[in-house]
Amino acid sequence: MSATEPNNTESKQSSDKTHFGYEEVRAEDKAERVAGVFHSVAGKYDLMNDLMSGGIHRLWKRFTIEVSGVRPGHKVLDIAGGTGDLAYKFSKLVGDTGQVILSDINSSMLSVGRDRLIDRGVNRNVQYAQLDAQFLPFADDTFDCVTIAFGLRNVTDKDMALRSILRVLKPGGRLLVLEFSKPQNSLLEKVYDQYSFRLLPFMGKVITNDADSYRYLAESIRMHPDQDTLKGMMDTAGFANTEFYNMTGGIVALHKGIKP
């Protein structure tokens, strides 16, 4: 299915609408449309990630790991973990006494991630789970740290996901949300717009033969809440000491919140 193909099942009466990129779709359909995108890009996801960001996504993730404060013995959940970049680093940090769960809603992304970690010799302390950020199947107070990198914007009900994360964190545990945000400088914003709306779908077409999926990514980035809005959503969900770090001029922001 093409990601931006008109949605035939969309009903006019439906009141629960949400965004799929710039399109309005029924809330029930968003997950399926997002799944279409990631099934389609899974195999070449890592390559695209490097090309799209010029490798900078590695630095964003590196900083995320530093802010996580994860150390030996910790239990970490990486949501929307895709191909497992964060999970790999966490598995080294938590050691034999800790535990990392690499999770994603999408089986294709998860299996690419699992293969990659196994290839890199990680097997002892990482588990894999196919799950939806909105409905986390874990007991209350389970994790020292939960991360979601470039995933929250794909989630249909973000507030629900934030509440669900808060529940599974231990008191004192922290949530880190790494996500595209609002560039802090209007020139940078313009350059970035040109890049993501023109170059990105073009690269997507050349490399994965799927411009639509990358157009969705560009659109979904613009629809995602900006720095202050996301911080407010985390406050509302019940997180304490919420703060964010702008990276690369605010193209990306890392939000942090602690479970009280």
Ligand X SMILES: C[S@@+](CC[C@H](N)C(=O)[O-])C[C@H]1O[C@@H](n2cnc3c(N)ncnc32)[C@H](O)[C@@H]1O
Q: If binding means CB under 6 A, how many residues of this protein chain bind ligand X? A: 21
User: Residue 148, SS3?
Assistant: strand
Distance CA 44, CA 112 (A): 10
Partner that binds at residue 38, options another protein, ligand X, none, CB closer than 5 to 8 Å by kind: ligand X
Q: Per CB under 8 A, which region of 4-12, 27-35, 60-68, 208-216 contacts another protein?
A: 60-68
Partner that binds at residue 68, options another protein, ligand X, none, CB closer than 5 to 8 Å by kind: another protein
**What string marks each residue from 86 to 115 as x (binds ligand X by CB under 6 A) or -?**
------------------xxx--x------
Strand partners, 103: 129
Angle of helix 211-223 versus helix 200-208 axis, rounded to 10: 150
Say whether residue 150 binds ligand X (CB under 6 A). yes
Say whether residue 155 binds ligand X (CB under 6 A). yes
Distance CA 233, CA 231 (A): 5
Say whether residue 64 binds ligand X (CB under 6 A). no
User: Residue 9, SS3?
Assistant: coil
Give the chain's count of helices (H) and strands (E): 10, 9
| CA distances to 21, 43, 100, 232, 237 from 83, in Å | 22, 9, 14, 29, 28
The nearer residue to another protein, 26 or 174, going by C-beta atoms, is 174
Distance CA 105, CA 109 (A): 8
Partner that binds at residue 197, options another protein, ligand X, none, CB closer than 5 to 8 Å by kind: none
Q: Are 181 and 252 in contact (CB under 8 A)?
A: yes
**What string marks each residue from 16 to 45 as x (binds ligand X by CB under 6 A) or -?**
------------------x---x-------
Say whether residue 188 binds another protein (CB under 8 A). no
Q: Are 88 and 120 in contact (CB under 8 A)?
A: yes
Nearest partner of 85 among 58, 105, 123, 121, judged by Cα: 58
Partner that binds at residue 71, options ligand X, another protein, none, CB closer than 5 to 8 Å by kind: another protein
Q: Per CB under 8 A, which region of 32-40, 59-67, 151-159, 196-204 contacts another protein?
A: 59-67
Partner that binds at residue 51, options another protein, ligand X, none, CB closer than 5 to 8 Å by kind: none
Residues in the site for another protein, rule: CB under 8 A?
56, 58-60, 62-63, 66-69, 71, 92, 245-249, 254
**Residues near ligand X, by CB under 6 A:** 34, 38, 49, 79-83, 85, 104-106, 109, 132-134, 149-151, 154-155
